Amino acid sequence: MKRSLTPIRGSRTNPMPNRSILANRIQDILAEVSPTPMVETGYSKEEKISLITEKFTDILEILGMDLSDDSLEKTPHRIAKMYVNEIFSGLDPSHFPRITTIENKMAYEQMIVVENIQALSVCEHHFQTIDGLATVAYIPNHKVIGLSKINRIVRFFSKRPQVQERLTKQIADCLVAVLETPHVGVHLTARHYCVIARGVQDSQSLTSTCDLRGHFKTRMETRSEFLSHCHKKPT
């Protein structure tokens, strides 16, 4: 049975839990409805960088690369720092963005749409780039969110090994929980470099995924209005 999402509620004096509490609650919700396959390692950030450096040294040596060359000697460490601090930083709940919401005092009840959000991720099957654009919309209930926070939520869930379907759903699940509204739409169109750089080597194909909730799913006029915003393509 599909689990219904429990909204993350604050109060008038504290409209949203602090970032660490919020990140843990989001992590708990997603563990049930759209989990990223993960296990707890217990390693600190520094330990992860050290261990990945060692492993990439082995990989490059097995490939026959000369790590005594000044162009290559620091490559394993560069890759390790990039993995931990940048392209897979979304695996660390402490990096969940600080979310700013305000009370919907203006009683705004129409669609809010943010288009052309960059979603740069990594395919978990081949560790190749996923380069996409997201369109995210919601119809407010009691809260509206700072617009840049939607971009940051997309970025957070992009910064981990992903499949596009899960990424789309995680963004939607997070917004439903944070905004306390069932009316959310997420659309993502992306190029997958595991298709471009290997295998079929098709540089033209695009993959689109969509997660529609509430009125975005059940009301044809809302669905059509949202999808009319979703025609942009990665360049």
Q: Which residue stretches of the chain are H helix?
A: 19-33, 45-63, 75-82, 147-158, 164-179, 193-196, 215-218, 220-227
Q: What residues contact 235, with CB distance under 8 A and at least 6 apart?
A: none
Compute the distance between CA of residue 118 and CA of residue 107 in angstroms, rounded to an integer: 30
- 84 DSSP 8-state letter: I
Q: Is 14 helix (H, G, I), strand (E, B) or coil?
A: coil
Checking if the pLDDT of 9 tops 80, the result is: no
Q: Report the chain's mean pLDDT, rounded to a whole number.
A: 91
Q: What is the pLDDT of residues 11-46, one digit of tens each?
A: 444 455 566 677 777 778 787 778 899 999 999 999
Query: 10: number of CA atoms within 13 Å, CB side?
Result: 19
Convert the pLDDT of each residue in 42-85 to its tens digit.
Answer: 999 999 999 999 999 999 999 999 999 999 999 999 999 999 99
- Please give the residue that has the higher pLDDT: either 102 or 19: 102
Query: What's the confidence (pLDDT) of residue 5?
Result: 58
Query: Which of 196, 217, 173, 190 lies closest to 134 in space, CA to CA?
Result: 190
Which one has a higher pLDDT value, 159 or 35?
A: 159
Among all residues, which ones are annotated catalytic? Answer: 123-126, 164, 192, 194
> What pTM, to 2 d.p., does this model score?
0.88
Q: Which pLDDT does position 26 carry in this prediction?
A: 79
**CA-CA-CA-CA torsion sign (106, 25, 175, 147):** positive
Domains of the chain and any CATH numbers: 45-91 (1.10.286.10), 100-227 (3.30.1130.10)
CB atoms within 10 A of CB 190: 26
What SS3 state is found at 2?
coil
At 180-221, the pLDDT tens digits run: 999 999 999 999 999 999 999 999 999 999 999 999 999 999
Structure tokens at 23: 């990140």
Q: Single out the residue of 196, 32, 63 nearest to residue 130, CA to CA.
A: 196
pLDDT digits (tens, 9 = 90+) for 118-153: 999 999 999 999 999 999 999 999 999 999 999 999
How high is the pLDDT of residue 7? 57
Strand, coil or helix: what is 145? strand
| Half-sphere exposure of residue 110: CA atoms within 13 angstroms, side-chain side | 3
